[in-house]
Amino acid sequence: MPRVFGTDGVRGLANREVTAELALDLSVAAARVIIDRGDFDRSRERPLAVVGRDPRISGQILEHAVVAGLASAGVDVLRLRVLPTPAVAYLTAALDADLGVVISASHNPMPDNGIKFLARGGHKLDDAVEAQIEELLGSSWDAPIGADVGRVRPYERPVEEYVDHLISTLDRSLAGLKVVVDCANGAAWQAAPMALRAAGAEVVVIGAEPDGLNINEGCGSTHLAPLQAAVVEHGADAGIALDGDADRCLAVDHEGNDVDGDQLLAILALDLAEAGRLVDDTVVATVMSNLGFVQAMQAAGLRVLQTRVGDRYVLEEMRTDGYVLGGEQSGHVIMSQYATTGDGILTALHVLQRMVATGKDLASLASVVTRLPQVLVNVTDVDKDRTDDPVLAEAVAVEEAALAGRGRVLLRPSGTEPMVRVMVEAPTDDDARAVAERLADVVRTRLALTTP
């Protein structure tokens, strides 16, 4: 059977790939695994799960299927309803639940949806546990009967409890700041404005009218133009763009210029370092982080550890050595002192707090990172497993030598397609594009699947 779980749970086209039947089977299998492993709080009569979702219309179908599957397997369920992914993770830990379930496709278009399981404490499931769940899919089992089936009830005030947690992480008020927040018509449409106002900011809200169909549509972190226009129109100090499940955040300065995840990560790293709270003066990022970010951190005397692309790899590195800050260029920032996953609202609050603490505007804070132009060329229909080809390796070495520390080259095989991504950073766009195209030609020639 092909693997069901990807790098971030199960995700695909809702009602075609991610169906109610699959949701039911996955939740039954997940319940069976935690029960068989004994990985639950024995002081309770039954294991406890919390379930939250983003506002996609398909989430209603999947939520009912997940809840039914868990309860039918003897798990009590608290329904959190529409709630950001990091809020579900927080409440999984705060309520000492044995399992958390998030129904969301994050920044993906509305027709997609996904299912992600969280272990006790709000952490992502280990690969080994996901493999056990897959092994049980569709297998026969003795379902509990009578009083042994799970109970289902709504959980009161999940948004308010999450917001209280966010505010508790701050050291100072955001009074005096005017902020525009774009909620992507997603799961944070209530929590984000509530948190920013509770922190003391004056808040203008856009993208906060979810109808089940408009999540991420022309708004949020994947479409910054509406936020940029609103910041300028309202004379705001900053703009915050969330994605559909609010696990990532991008920003806009007072002039409408975008501030990416690398810059946000740099702002937070310097803040923690000055406070003496950046463990081993180290921040964790991925190989896709801009070289300008790495250079800025090195200039500040900080170390950057780079992992494979994907927040799960950032999290693994952070948990292994106890690092407190990591993230991706996409705006997925993890502050492990306060959260077990990326949290867009948390990121925004702490970046805004840095503005208040320093008296500097966002543009000045972000300017610590000088982003090098970055060009990405996707080369399709090639053998992605042969990127160690000696001729290709020599071509990469020649280009890197020519850049002489002023840029870099990265070849990334796709995880799912016969494709190699050629990423180049260089002092100018023209330089980066020229290098990328030259290397892309070598990839096409050397790694072609069929002889021309």
By annotation, the residues acting in catalysis are 106
How far apart are the C-alpha atoms of 15 and 37, rounded to whole Å? 31
- Beta bridge mates, 290: none
d(C-alpha 240, C-alpha 252), whole Å: 6
Q: Rounded CA gap, 323 and 305, in Å?
A: 10
Count CA atoms closer than 13 A to 278's CA, side-chain side. Answer: 23
Handedness of CA 37, 40, 46, 52 (dihedral sign): negative
Contact 409, 400 (CB under 8 A): yes
DSSP string, 96-108: T-SEEEEE--TTS
How many other C-beta atoms are found inside a 10 Å radius of the C-beta of residue 404? 7
Q: How far apart are CA 349 and CA 335, in angstroms?
A: 12
Q: How many whole angstroms separate alpha carbon 329 and alpha carbon 425?
A: 14
Residue with tokens 């996609």: 56
Q: Would you call 335 exposed, middle or buried from its count of C-beta atoms within 10 A (0-12, 13-18, 19+)?
A: buried
